[in-house]
Structure 1
Amino acid sequence: MERSSCLENQCFGAIRSRLMLIAMAILCMHNADAQTGACYGTLGNNLPPPREMIALCKHHNIQSIRLYNPNPALVEPLQGSNVSVIVGVPNEEIQGIARDESLAISWVRDNILKYRNINFRYIAVGNEISPSANPDISPHVPIAMQHISDALAAAGLRRVKVSTALSMEILGLSNPPSLGSFQSQFLDLFINPIIKFLVKTNSPFLVNVYPYFAYVSDTTNIRLDYALFTSKSSVVKDGAYQYYNLFDAMVDAVHVALEKAGGANIRVVVSETGWPSAGGTATTVGNAGTYNSNLLKSVKKGAPRRPGKPIETYIFDLIDENNKSPELEKHWGIFLANKNPKYPLSFTA
């Protein structure tokens, strides 16, 4: 009997080990599929209901979504969907959360713990805050990040990472990428505390990367094919690295800036990127489709300074938002308001 029990335990132990390996493999596959996603903006008066939008994402294999706020009407339909989610702490709530830890606890309780069947991936504390544009909010960002992280840890949710989504404007230099550096006046009270937190918590650096705006700001020196991933030869040579597209160059400038600021091992996540289909310079449906389809292929390969390491990326925007202004801002969607794709785009491997 004892020998039989021992054999049974070994058998069950082997089965458990296999099941754990299978579960880990499934998780790895899910994470691989989650390398590209879309941002879900809602500033429109003709948008489909959220449940229809989530069903649309699932139909087109969009496995990751970024939400800019924890609106229950948007979050609730995600339950049981297996879609991974970035959810934002709105800019206007950051000061309060930084000043009062109890507000962080209630925010996590009401917006994360309330939904037990949602795959929350990251919490982005604010979007595109900078000391120059938001001097009243920016000093509070690192503290608010810490308070949200502490509240998650107390709830047993250390797996949900906390960061903040910044714009490329925080870089002082970015071309060529080897010169990448943060604006020096932002370092002490803003960038350095954020990087220290990200290193401590093994969290990613979220950054919104827009080759479109770089291109339209300097069409004389930046070629359209370089911005659209269609150049057949390298355009920028930077030491041992060659750049065929502007997106990779911008991402690597962030990598270099992080290295110089003590964040060499921090993973970069592109929390927004895209190309508008109307309303401005070089804004055609064809160019938007070209950019996004080539983007999805390119990020799987990684950037020249991080070859073979896919860049987790979120396309802006899921659907056109007709209440935004100026006109350019209305046309970033990969879907029209009637849910039809604006151009062919495949999120499959």
Structure 2
Amino acid sequence: MMMKIAVLPGDGIGEEVMKEALKVLKKVEAKFNLHFDFTHGLIGGAAWPQYKNHFPQETQDLVLDSDAILFGSVGGPVDAQSEPKWKDCEKNSILSIRKLLGLTVNLRPAPIYKELLDFCPLKTEITGTENFEILVIRELSGGIYFGEHSRPTVDTAKDVAEYDRKTIAHIAKFAFESAMKRSKKLTSVDKANVLETSRLWREVFEDTAKEYPEVKLENVLVDNMVQQLVKNPRQFDVIACPNLFGDIVSDLTSVLPGSLGMLGSASFGNKNIHLYEPSGGSAPDIAGKGIANPIAQILSASMMLRHSFHLVDAADAIENAVSEVMKNGLRTGDIYQKKEGLKLVGTVEMGDAICANISL
């Protein structure tokens, strides 16, 4: 079966790290006798010179004709945001592609490698000394971000949060299914002691729990949640959040691995065409220097294999290869420290090392 993948490197370090992800995918393709059809498209500032548009129709058509989207990053230098090439670039690119695909569920895994605990802001007495991962599942289409926003008077402002049962039931089912494939433990985050939307959220999750008797569901208020993530993150596995709370909680968990360069993500929609991208940005300050960490892009590719194409063995091979590289002491600058047994490497060398470990 030919798997059609739209490749959208975007801006900044996007092109560099995407090359390494594609290198890894081609290694997996050969090892497991797979068939990928990669088609490149322009988006963000990279599309502007040719199209004077951040998300041109040609790229939209490519996206809709694909089985999955492997996305890099978009955006330019902070001091150039007023230039036409960069003005509203992120909004016109990533928000537009989310709307086009109807993306409603976001996955943000935070893998904590024992070899990188020196970069975790928490003490090892809190994190422990072994690998673990927290998976944050965030609802993307509802809540206060998509409600009415207004300034009735110069001295008043209004933002409306709204959820419906169908929207919550969709992410609840996704979260329970994810928990079934992992530790069968699910934490649902809300503010049900104050907010009516949270009361509906909790009600739907508790109703859905009846369909998954093997999964242990715990409801946690969002203020307690952020405290517990700092005090004892290892107690959590799968965490499901409404849009606003998911934005906050996933930002908290993203610091635990020690670098955004280690974090892939996935967004799922109603057209069965899903988007995979690093959690970090375009990092224009280091673009072209060959020093960016490609692991987030590579792990995003692994998520694509796992979720869009159900290639569990191939996805495992990539993730195991990343773990081996961590054990072997290779480090890009964001996760490097002068310490015996560690070697500072660049973008290409990191990609080569991961490929080499897939071949074993």
Provide the TM-score with structure 1 as the length reference: 0.32
Provide the TM-score with structure 2 as the length reference: 0.32
**CA radius of gyration, larger in:** 1
Greater RCO (Cα-Cα under 8 Å, separation 6 or more):
2
Higher strand share: 2
